[in-house]
Chain A
């Protein structure tokens, strides 16, 4: 079964030093390798900051392009994983090992359909 792990985090800019971020990146890479070795890893991605976002909607055939997300929340979706796990307990255990849990909230959700 595939699960998506969504990493909700606060804005690190100005709050966290580059050295701290680099140290986290190193731990994350090590954990990614471990997930690959264990056969759980499908893919991962880090997203640009919310201020780089553009929204597209179409209502009654009329296209609207607007700047940024609609809500001003402190925590935003910073990145994601797609993993392969036997059940929720295994998915939670994998999420538990992510270094990001120390500063972010990781939402674990089943994927009903995955088309690649």
Chain B
């Protein structure tokens, strides 16, 4: 085997197995840092031995076992300087051999997700730790994706690991009574990662596909490990939003509204999978906010044209969503759907009713939606003022360009 071929082989195993091996090593060794060193050592040993002796029948089990022995070795060497390490090494040595039970191994990945998404960690740290440990992104990749410095991300991860160790955050799937809240926290992290990849919160890099792909991969993993209705709903929602990725920006990077998008550029595979998952989530006993958002996204995605959209169904789904998640943004979306069903005057009345309580005063989309309805009603000067307000509040370059374009269209 050539030098290059040898490394390609290890690379493929690394991509397929490293996160699962790490998840199991953390449980066996009781420490993130020790497990990461052990993972590194195990792959070094594999790179040396596999080309010579052949790839073992069960590479994952081989790597776990090698990592564990290497960690004991390391601790023994350290023990010459620190007596406390001897105890830890003995403890790990006397612990049971790595179990071959596939359910335990699968649970290791869940343990890792729930530990990284523990609400005792700061939200920023939850995201960074999940991307680092569960997805295997490098600190540099995470920093680039979030437009922050590598030292900042590195420090977040170091602090989070220190808290896990010092406050003894358990490496465990939460108990039944705590599971719904903890799952909600984990789903929130996954959706945050997706949104960060789908629409940057600031700056002009609208699309960061890699992060969204990681979030979808995480969503799939959660559904596979814990088939909860909200996990299904979130995966469906992410797939349906992602299906429009190529159509929602023009070649120049300008925003294309849903109604104006070229539907032939929507990803049919993602729509089909997303719509099926959304329907499954909607059949659950308790329907949550992600399932409802997915059902709304599916109603848009499966309409043959904008004109063929079932706005009645969408308004009803928004009514249900308002009950599950009574936020001003949901109410705004409902008002826009009402405008599509009953006309711009009805929509404007709904938005103005919302604006009365002031919660949307600084939200650019509220002014943008209002401007659009005023324009359709021929109230041009009011529309202009609303577009100007929206443009002033928008944070992204593409959004500001969109409002500027609308303003110039009104003027002409």
Nearest CB to that of B165 among chain A residues? A110
**Inside 8 A of A86's CB, which chain B residues have their CB?**
170
In Å, the complex CA distance between A86 and B172 comes to 12
Q: Are B178 and A88 in contact (CB under 8 A)?
A: no
How many residues in B have their beta carbons less than 8 Å from beta carbons of A?
11
B169 interface hit (Cβ, 8 Å): yes
Known: A87-B172, A109-B167. 11 other contacts (CB 8 A): A87-B168, A87-B169, A87-B170, A88-B118, A88-B120, A88-B168, A89-B178, A93-B178, A110-B166, A110-B167, A112-B166
Within 8 A of A (CB), among B144-182: 166-170, 172, 174-175, 178
Least Cβ–Cβ distance between B186 and chain A, in angstroms: 14
A53 interface hit (Cβ, 8 Å): no
Least Cβ–Cβ distance between A82 and chain B, in angstroms: 15
Number of residue pairs spanning A and B whose beta carbons lie under 8 angstroms apart: 26
A1 interface hit (Cβ, 8 Å): yes
In Å, the complex CA distance between A57 and B175 comes to 46
* Binary per-residue interface labels of chain A (1-25) against chain B in the complex, 1 for a CB within 8 Å, 0 otherwise: 1000000000000000000000000
* Binary per-residue interface labels of chain A (74-89) against chain B in the complex, 1 for a CB within 8 Å, 0 otherwise: 0000000000001111
**Inside 8 A of A92's CB, which chain B residues have their CB?**
120
Please list the residues of chain A having a beta carbon within 8 angstroms of any beta carbon in chain B: 1, 86-89, 92-93, 108-110, 112
13 contacts between A and B (CB under 8 A): A88-B120, A88-B168, A88-B169, A89-B169, A89-B170, A92-B120, A93-B178, A108-B167, A109-B167, A110-B166, A110-B167, A110-B168, A112-B166
Nearest CB to that of A96 among chain B residues? B178
In Å, the complex CA distance between A86 and B167 comes to 11
**Inside 8 A of B167's CB, which chain A residues have their CB?**
88, 108-110
**Inside 8 A of A108's CB, which chain B residues have their CB?**
167
**Inside 8 A of B170's CB, which chain A residues have their CB?**
86-89
In Å, the complex CA distance between A87 and B168 comes to 5
Nearest CB to that of B170 among chain A residues? A87
Q: Are A89 and B174 in contact (CB under 8 A)?
A: yes
